[in-house]
């Protein structure tokens, strides 16, 4: 069968290409594709360094390189040191970094009830659920003279860095929310130690019990009649 494959020392395929049966460019492209298929390297098999592995490329043999000096990650440019530390120099400050509004206090109450109330209780007296279940140490009440006189930055610093057996909450609560909790703690202190002079004009003491339009059920919350609605009813 040799004569079927070769004639005059040339392969049949070469003679077929030479006579125009297959364009030479196609043959070259096919050969190129075959070659690169044998050299394929996917991203998951490319040369790389595993985290914290040894590397002979660097003098210290550490593959994990330190950040370039002066590098600041996005969102980590803490130019306002008081906002992020609660301190002026080495001492805690006693001012809020932003105005305290109703929305600020409502957000502070929400965050406080989630992260603080389990130990400190919802009124801040330290009789939370966790201490009542046998926790080794009861947290101090916010209403003792020492904490009533403590500057605002002190509470922020404790939430940021922890104190005693209390862990820090820097990873769970953002700096802004920590300040809002601080504002709400001050509101709690005022609520438990207020005098008649602190009561707004026309505010009844004690406050009248709420009136419910709908008592609600396990699936729906109760609907409370606002004081304005009560007044309008009395006028009618």
Q: Does position 200 have pLDDT exceeding 70, yes or no?
A: yes
Q: Does position 234 have pLDDT exceeding 70, yes or no?
A: no
d(CA 113, CA 99): 22
pLDDT for 157 equals 97
Q: What 3-state class would DSSP assign to 11?
A: strand
* Interval 79-86 mean pLDDT: 94
Q: Does position 3 have pLDDT exceeding 50, yes or no?
A: no
pLDDT for 152 equals 97
pLDDT for 39 equals 59
54: tokens are 């040894």
Between the two ends of the chain, the Cα-to-Cα distance in Å is 117
pLDDT for 231 equals 46
Go through the domains of the chain in sequence order and give each one's CATH number.
Answer: 2-37 (no CATH), 81-193 (1.10.760.10)
Question: 182 burial class (0-12, 13-18, 19+ CB within 10 angstroms)?
Answer: buried
d(CA 132, CA 118): 10
Q: What's the pTM?
A: 0.61
d(CA 24, CA 125): 90
Q: What 3-state class would DSSP assign to 212?
A: strand
Summarised one tens digit per residue, pLDDT across range 9-52 is 445 555 555 555 556 666 677 776 666 665 556 666 777 778 88
């Amino acid at each position: 069968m040799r004569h079927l494959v070769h004639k005059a020392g040339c392969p049949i395929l070469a003679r077929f290409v030479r006579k125009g049966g297959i364009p030479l460019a196609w043959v070259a492209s096919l050969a190129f594709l075959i070659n690169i298929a044998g050299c394929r390297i996917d991203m998951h098999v490319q040369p790389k360094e595993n985290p914290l592995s040894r590397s002979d490329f660097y003098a210290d043999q550490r593959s994990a390189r330190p950040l370039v000096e002066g590098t600041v990650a996005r969102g980590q440019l803490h130019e306002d040191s008081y906002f992020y530390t609660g301190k002026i120099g080495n001492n805690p400050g006693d001012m809020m970094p932003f105005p305290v509004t109703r929305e600020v206090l409502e957000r502070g109450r929400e965050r406080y009830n989630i992260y603080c109330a389990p130990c400190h209780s919802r009124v801040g007296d330290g009789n939370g659920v966790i201490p009542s279940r046998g926790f080794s140490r009861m947290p101090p009440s916010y209403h003792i003279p020492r904490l009533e006189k403590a500057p605002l930055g002190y509470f922020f610093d404790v939430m940021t860095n922890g104190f005693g057996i209390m862990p820090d909450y820097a990873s769970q609560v953002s700096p802004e929310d920590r300040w809002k909790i601080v504002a709400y703690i001050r509101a709690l202190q005022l609520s438990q130690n207020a005098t008649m002079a602190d009561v707004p004009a026309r505010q009844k003491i004690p406050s009248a019990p709420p009136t419910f339009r709908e008592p609600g059920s396990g699936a729906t919350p109760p609907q409370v009649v606002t004081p304005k609605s009560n007044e309008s009813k009395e006028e009618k």
